[in-house]
Amino acid sequence: MRTLRLTLAYDGTDFLGWQVQSVGRTVQGELEAAVEKITGERVRLAGAGRTDSGVHALGQVASFRTTTTIPSDKLRLGLESALTAGDLAVLDVADVPEDFHARHSARGKLYRYQVLNSRLRAPLLRRFTWQVRAPLDRAAMREAAAVLVGTHDFSSFRLAGCDARTPVREMRRLELIEREDGVLWIELEASAFLRGMVRAIVGTLVEVGRGRRPASDMPAILASCDRGAAGRSAPACGLTLVRVAYE
């Protein structure tokens, strides 16, 4: 048996998220079908991050066990030729130690959220950004973001149905990066994320940026451990899983 690691990129717009469902196109489902087509084996892929419907990836990681003897570079080419739609790319296929598991072995993840802070539409960015027309106070957003850095119980930013054993996560970096033409990147790097955590944090930061609540509310929001205390979730289309870190 070999264990293989896939590195993946996708435009999530036309996927119902990572995880296989009874109906609908999913990243996991497309990949498992491609693996079966190329190797003849039905496998179950483990994904590092089970991205929601509409969420994109530049460096998602998945793993599976297989008996195929196809060399990894040939397998990559085969999988890509089986994935004809073009919105899903296999960037790398590599043999890894047998006990490697894309999710359990992960030591950290980097997500990027793109806000288009402009009163004008940007048609070329619309699939990958959340347009916020009102001006955002970056200084207030940075003040609120700083409160979340460190090891905390993030229950206030956790969706119902999250199956994580503990709500405690280490937020290693939460940074606002100004880009061209009103695009604002919000980058979040943590040991791991709870379900819905990035979008709940971004939604809350944007409410702070719009002046709907002061940055000084953030410590109380975090301490409440109550999802109702935080802001509305930001839409999926702005979110991209950039990188998964392993030891």
Q: Which residues are catalytic?
A: 52
Selected binder of a copy of itself within 42, 98, 99, 120 (CB under 8 A)? 120
E strands, 134-225, are: 150-153, 168-178, 183-190
Does 84 bind a copy of itself (CB under 8 A)? Our answer is no
Does 43 bind a copy of itself (CB under 8 A)? Our answer is no
3-class SS of residue 51: coil
- Alpha carbon distances (Å) from 220 to 136, 138, 147, 210: 22, 20, 10, 19
Does 121 bind a copy of itself (CB under 8 A)? Our answer is yes
Selected binder of a copy of itself within 1, 22, 84, 86 (CB under 8 A)? 86
Selected binder of a copy of itself within 33, 91, 106, 159 (CB under 8 A)? 91
Q: Are 230 and 221 a contacting pair, CB within 8 Å?
A: yes
# residues near a copy of itself by CB under 8 A = 20
Q: Are 22 and 88 a contacting pair, CB within 8 Å?
A: no
Residue 99 CA from chain centroid, whole number: 24
Does 161 bind a copy of itself (CB under 8 A)? Our answer is no
Burial of residue 62 (CB within 10 Å: 0-12, 13-18, 19+) is buried
The two tokens of residue 141 are 């957003």
Does 11 bind a copy of itself (CB under 8 A)? Our answer is yes
Of 44 and 121, nearer to a copy of itself (C-beta) is: 121
Does 40 bind a copy of itself (CB under 8 A)? Our answer is no
Does 240 bind a copy of itself (CB under 8 A)? Our answer is yes
Region binding a copy of itself by CB under 8 A among candidate stretches 31-39, 46-54, 86-94, 195-203: 86-94
Binding residues among 165-194 for a copy of itself as defined by CB under 8 A: none
CA distance 199 to 113: 8
Of 57 and 215, nearer to a copy of itself (C-beta) is: 57
Does 20 bind a copy of itself (CB under 8 A)? Our answer is no
Residues interacting with a copy of itself, by CB under 8 A? 9-11, 56, 58, 80, 86-89, 91, 120-124, 126-128, 240
